Amino acid sequence: MSTVNYYESCAREYADASMGANLDHVYQRFLPALKPEATILDAGCGAGRDMKLFTQLGFKVMGFDKSVELAKIACHHSGQTVHVCSFMEFPAQQKRYDAVWAMASLLHVPRAELVDTMKHLSTGLVPGGRFYLSLKVGEGCRPTRGTIEERYSPEEAKEAIASAGLGLSEFWYTGARQDNLEPVTWMNFIAIKPA
């Protein structure tokens, strides 16, 4: 089963499981530096949990997901238009946004395409704009819950960010949680597009 097929078949289950996640510790590091009414691109927005919060806080939000079913849920949940497309299909060069939010989404991009994907998403990012992403610590590509996920060392992830032309501003670990009975540690990054 492909990652998209998994999310298509389990969209409601995934949405229900993800809506209750407490990400205040991440929001508190990402959002304060943004101006009121800044535009945030939610790249791989899933069920729209973060889009809804960002909208409620007064930010302008645009989002996309490759799963049609998740995009429908995200649109209903957030009240925003959600585009159905892959990372590379998103028309970044035709958009303008102050921040990119890629929460637990870029880990589905094949390792060889990660740098080009970040470069592409950065095309519409304003100079000085913030780019948040989270990746799992580990080695290689692993199947997880019917999806395919890439794992990285901190050094590999930092090298990819630099190769995408972004400057690393913040890096921290999120506490381990159980995922398929396997301990998982998340790496969180905030990068800045050079002015």
User: Span 3-17+35-192: which CATH code?
Assistant: 3.40.50.150
Count each helix (H run) and each strand (E run) in the chain, helices first. 7, 9
> Which pair of tokens denotes residue 80?
């925003």
| Cα separation, 48 vs 25, whole angstroms | 18
Per-residue pLDDT at 21: 80
Task: Give the start-to-end residue ranges of the domains of the chain.
Answer: 3-17+35-192
The DSSP 8-state label assigned to residue 122 in this structure reads H
Give per-residue pLDDT as tens, 32-45: 999 999 999 999 99
**What secondary structure letter does DSSP report for 87?**
T
Beta-bridge partners for 34: none
Distance CA 185, CA 152 (A): 11
Count CB-CB contacts under 10 A for residue 94: 8
Q: Strand, coil or helix: what is 110?
A: coil
The H or E element containing residue 5 is helix 3-9
Q: In which residue ranges of the chain is pLDDT below 50?
A: none
Helix 154-163 vs helix 114-122: crossing angle, to nearest 10: 50
Residue-wise pLDDT for 99-139, tens only, equals: 999 999 999 999 999 999 999 999 999 999 999 999 999 99
Neighbouring CB atoms inside 10 A of 56's CB total 11
